[in-house]
Amino acid sequence: MSFISYESTSEQGKSWTIVSPIYFRYKVVESQNLLEPGNDTLLTGHLRDPEQLDAFRSSTKPIKRFVVIDETVNQLYGPQVSSYFEARNVNYKILPLPTTEENKSMELVMKILQELHSFGISRHTEPIIAIGGGVCLDIVGFAASLYRRRTPYIRVPTTLLSYVDASVGAKTGVNFSQCKNKLGSYIPPVATFLDRSFIQTVPRRQISNGLAEMLKMALMKHKGLFELLERHGKFLLDTNFQSCNGLLDHGCVALMTSRIAIETMLEELAPNLWEDDLDRLVDFGHLISPELEMVVLPTLMHGEAVNIDMAYMTYVSNDRGFLTTAERNRIIQCMKNLELPVWHHDFSLNLVKKSLNERLKHSEGLQRMPLPTGVGTAEIFNDIDDEVLERSFKKWCEDLSTEE
Catalytic residue, chosen from 14, 93, 104, 171, is 171
The reply to whether 171 belongs to the active site is yes
Q: What is the b/e burial string over 90-123, where b = at least 16 CB atoms within 10 angstroms of the residue's CB?
A: bebbbbbbebbbeebebebbebbbeebeebebee
> What's the CA gap between 323 and 331, in Å, rounded?
10
> What's the CA gap between 39 and 85, in Å, rounded?
11
302-319 vs 204-221: helix axis angle to the nearest 10?
30
> What's the CA gap between 155 and 189, in Å, rounded?
7
Q: How far out from the chain centre does Cα 200 lie?
A: 19
Taking the alpha carbons at both ends of the chain, their separation in whole angstroms is 53
| DSSP one-letter string for 239-299 | TTT----S--TTS-HHHHHHHHHHHHHHHHHGGGTT--S---GGGTT-SSHHHHHHHHTTS
> What's the CA gap between 324 and 314, in Å, rounded?
10
Closest to 135 in 3D by CA, of 118, 112, 152:
112
Closest to 93 in 3D by CA, of 69, 75, 109:
69
> What's the CA gap between 101 and 209, in Å, rounded?
14
Residues whose CB is less than 8 angstroms from the CB of residue 299 and which lie 6 or more positions away in sequence, other chains included: none
* Active centre residues (catalytic): 171
